[in-house]
Amino acid sequence: MDDKYQYSCENTDNTVHGWIGFDSDPPVGFWMITPSNEFRNGGPIKQDLTSHVGPITLSVCSNVYCFATLLDNE
């Protein structure tokens, strides 16, 4: 079984992740490069998702929901 948690790692280890496909000639790939972890909350050992099954890569700017503060104030 393949699930999204197989594509997770600690923030400190998440510098480059991506996908490469060998179905074409030449092979094609894409990569998400994270030059700094300053924008991440949760510390360096917090585990976060990097990709989903298939050619989908993730870059989460904040680990909280974007509208959580807005909804709490209403």
Dump pLDDT digits (tens) for 10-67: 888 888 888 888 888 998 988 888 887 777 777 778 888 887 777 778 776 665 545 5
Rounded to a whole number of angstroms, the distance between the first and last alpha carbons of the chain is 41
Q: What is the pTM of this model?
A: 0.59
pLDDT at 59: 73
pLDDT at 68: 52
More confident call, 26 vs 74: 26
Domain of residue 53: give its range: 4-73
Tokens in use for 24?
């074409």
Q: How many domains does the chain have?
A: 1
d(CA 74, CA 69): 9
Q: What is each CA distance from 31 to 1, 17, 57, 59, in whole angstroms?
A: 24, 6, 8, 11
